[in-house]
Structure 1
């Protein structure tokens, strides 16, 4: 793997030297290239790694990528790697971690195919290249020597769609640049794998009896110190980053006004540490009405605490971290629950999905569910949970019948 070494020049500026051995061999000839900025060095480092520790084709040391021109002259080209970094660096309104994840996906999924190609050239990167890239991700690559092993595992349709969206954005920024670098976006009209072709449903919905099995199992882990936490998770539908960031001042349970306000959430930083920040979207900053049972749980968890104390904490008084909760509470509890007859394998986030399924079973309208979950758009709610709205079939049929015949449908009294 190529490495980067920082050095201070005599004039006080910093140089970033990318170093590697030709072909990655221990006895390979030492190679190096110097850059003024760290992002440029990281781009080149990724290109060297993508080309198995060789100089990227077309790269001239000290000059960059050079495209042959007429006679002995040449012109400097803008590589996809360079433009992709420019795209990420100039994005506005995104979290630090999002920028980090974009760079990770570019290095892992884009540079091996497009890294050294001219981003301006339809011949270098066109619609056919994008389609071949999609097919390569979908099929993966088997090890030629061991057909049971993967050199590159297949990528799920959902991930391909997400990657394609990022790739589309990179090329669209080239189309909209002033002056334009391309006349058209090669990602336009790419037919992507269907995201509903999988046999296994990504979301797990627990029936009330199934959640009870999980809850009882959780009660046997570490004296049941996480039972209240999962009760509030399934009772409110809050995301993990929201519920683990919940503070005493976010709870109002005086008089008839009993609500929980989502004001902040934990945000993963580039170095994998966490900081408190704003919720995921504008709509995520919301109030969630509390039932008497939820109020009772929250009252005992905030008793004696100060306004800025966290509602749910570990035995040491620290806020829960997902990894700690998942490995030391959730996984053992699910294993015990499966021993007791649970046939599903839910994740903590599936408690949010379960919350929605219970609301839909009670005929709560999707717009109300959207507001409770903090979805930015009703489309998100419908796309994810619309298939659960089956109990309303009779009501829909009655409404259509009434509209066509003029007869008023009978009111259904909820029990």
Structure 2
């Protein structure tokens, strides 16, 4: 088996990573051991890990198409023209940079992920090559990602990459290779990503903080809210839990969006959200999807929270309800830090189970859970949350439907009692 060895200088700093293995493909008189060197940064470590996997996949031989010290090299045929555009780095960059119908921050995010996790492995590969891009090489890359440690926020790199992140990176690779398949004429016969078995978040070995959703009970929401020290933060929890709005939508709310033509049926327009502009800044634009532009009923507690904010801050109609110290957009990380401190206090006081690791976004999930658990339909929850598709709502919250559990338990109990399950009566029109 190949192995990865960090090479350090006198100060103990890693200067490079070396992959070493017994070369099964060596000829008589050649050295027994083969080695390849990679940079000493995080990208170099990731590239070394993937190369090790490729060596193991190749039976302790140099991977096909790899040239020592240079990586995967494309041999150009005479008269073939400019072959460099088929190298993955150039091809993927061109695909992302010319893609239409996406926001600039998403384009930048794709390029960042390519640089960090795809180019170190596939950068010099030929998108046409069935050796460079095969089921085996894609599997080896995914296997490496499963063993890659990343940081949460500004913390240390001590968490394995989540299955969701791996799926997103694999999807990015797959989308680029799909473009190669659909070129005219096609550059490839098929997309090898289609045959990759991807990790699931429930495959075992995951920790609670790796889960995507944490449902909170009303008492747990109150416990966290009461341990926030700023009144604005407490009211934000009230409004977010009471509306299920996304953070970007919540922090874009202003008094003029409150519809009070019927005091008994107060409503709130959720018609805008903070969006990244692709240059490190933000602007007020449309919500996440077409259905995200919605008007929802709000309860008396939410109305009281919004009225308190307006009264105490003397807000004009177009002023934001939730802002930073200087009236600017309230950064998500700023509120998240204060939220995390409140969560730690709630756990210390025994008001929140230690195994729960909620984020502010979990208030949105908990809002949906409260509605569904009380018997409200998925369609109603979909429209209230602004999901583009009912499938999204069903995938996230369908398991919470109480009537489904009730019917299932009745069926199982009848079967265990040795009888036949009775058919449910259907009311005639």
* TM-score scaled by length of structure 2: 0.72
Cα deviation digits, residues 179-218 of structure 1 (max 9, x gap): 3222211212211112322352332111121112112212
Give the RMSD, CA atoms, in angstroms: 3.5
**How far apart in 1 are the matches of 2:128 and 2:142?**
20
- The count of aligned residue pairs is 347
Equivalence for 2:56: none
User: Quick check: 1:204 aligned with 2:210?
Assistant: no
TM-superposed CA distance for 1:151, in Å, is 9.7
Equivalence for 1:338: 347
**How far apart in 1 are the matches of 2:47 and 2:411?**
63
User: Quick check: 1:387 aligned with 2:399?
Assistant: yes
Decide which of 133, 136, 161 is 2:141's aligned counterpart: 133
Q: Is the 8 A contact 2:375 2:403 kept in 1?
A: yes
Report the secondary structure of 1:334's partner residue. Answer: helix
Decide which of 101, 114, 123 is 1:115's aligned counterpart: 123
Report the secondary structure of 1:168's partner residue. Answer: helix
Decide which of 164, 167, 171 is 2:177's aligned counterpart: 171
Report the secondary structure of 1:288's partner residue. Answer: strand
Name structure 2 gaps, 5 residues minimum.
1-14, 17-41, 49-66, 150-155, 415-420
Q: Is the 8 A contact 2:255 2:318 kept in 1?
A: yes
**How far apart in 2 are the matches of 1:130 and 1:355?**
39
Report the secondary structure of 1:287's partner residue. Answer: strand
TM-superposed CA distance for 1:268, in Å, is 2.7
Superposed, 1:203-222 pairs within 5 Å as 203-218=213-228, 221-222=229-230
Judged with a 3 Å threshold, the aligned counterparts in structure 2 of structure 1 residues 101 and 381 are, in CA distance, closer, same or farther, namely same
Decide which of 247, 252, 263 is 1:245's aligned counterpart: 252
Report the secondary structure of 2:267's partner residue. Answer: strand
Cα deviation digits, residues 116-173 of structure 1 (max 9, x gap): 01111212212221111111211348xxxxxxxx999742221111111111110111
Equivalence for 2:199: 193
Judged with a 3 Å threshold, the aligned counterparts in structure 2 of structure 1 residues 56 and 233 are, in CA distance, closer, same or farther, namely farther
Decide which of 343, 350, 353 is 2:362's aligned counterpart: 350
Judged with a 3 Å threshold, the aligned counterparts in structure 2 of structure 1 residues 405 and 263 are, in CA distance, closer, same or farther, namely closer
Cα deviation digits, residues 251-274 of structure 1 (max 9, x gap): 112214421111111123434322
Equivalence for 1:41: none
Superposed, 1:144-293 pairs within 5 Å as 154-197=160-203, 198-200=206-208, 201-218=211-228, 221-222=229-230, 224-255=231-262, 256-293=264-301
Report the secondary structure of 2:268's partner residue. Answer: strand
**How far apart in 2 are the matches of 1:245 and 1:404?**
52
TM-superposed CA distance for 1:353, in Å, is 1.2
* TM-score scaled by length of structure 1: 0.74
**How far apart in 1 are the matches of 2:44 and 2:349?**
52
Equivalence for 2:70: 57
Q: Is the 8 A contact 1:80 1:118 kept in 2?
A: yes
Equivalence for 2:35: none
Report the secondary structure of 1:162's partner residue. Answer: helix
Q: Is the 8 A contact 2:74 2:125 kept in 1?
A: no
User: Quick check: 1:306 aligned with 2:313?
Assistant: no
The farther-off stretch of 101-110 and 266-275 is 266-275
**How far apart in 2 are the matches of 1:226 and 1:74?**
61
Equivalence for 1:84: 92
Report the secondary structure of 2:201's partner residue. Answer: coil
Equivalence for 1:13: none
Report the secondary structure of 1:283's partner residue. Answer: helix
Q: Is the 8 A contact 2:255 2:317 kept in 1?
A: yes
